[in-house]
Amino acid sequence: MKIEILGSGCAKCKKTKEIVEQAVAELGIDAEVVKVEDMNAALDYGVMITPAVVVDGDVKVAGKVPTLDKVKEWLS
């Protein structure tokens, strides 16, 4: 599983990455978490507001920091 965190490196983006990594650890799944700061890559997904989380090419959220429970739901 590949999880991309789209963002500029701002506070919300860092928080989003922390939550995603926590969810991966708690679920014990094998996932690659990648931080993507290239905003053209975000546009390629149609993402116009960051932070955003993309799981295996599927945009799950944009412009918000997701909750831990919500991320676990996506990854389960």
Partner 1 sequence: MISKNRGYTIAEDIKMTEGVKCSCEAAIIGLYACAGGSNVGQMANKVAVELTKHGKGKIMCTVGVGGQVPGIIKSTEGTDEIIAIDGCPLLCAKKSLELSGFTVDKSIVISELGMKKGGNLDLEESDVIEMMSKVETALGN
Among 49, 67, 68, 73, binds partner 1 (CB under 8 A): 49
* Contact (CB, 8 A) for 72 and 25: no
Tell me the pairing of strands 32-36 and 2-6: parallel
Among 4, 61, 71, 72, binds partner 1 (CB under 8 A): 61
Q: How far apart are CA 5 and CA 27, in angstroms?
A: 18
| Beta bridge partner(s), residue 55 | 3, 58
Which of the residues 9 through 48 are near partner 1 (CB under 8 A)? 10-13, 39-40, 42-43, 45-48
Residues with a catalytic annotation lie at 10, 13
Binding positions for partner 1, rule: CB under 8 A: 7-8, 10-13, 39-40, 42-43, 45-52, 58-64
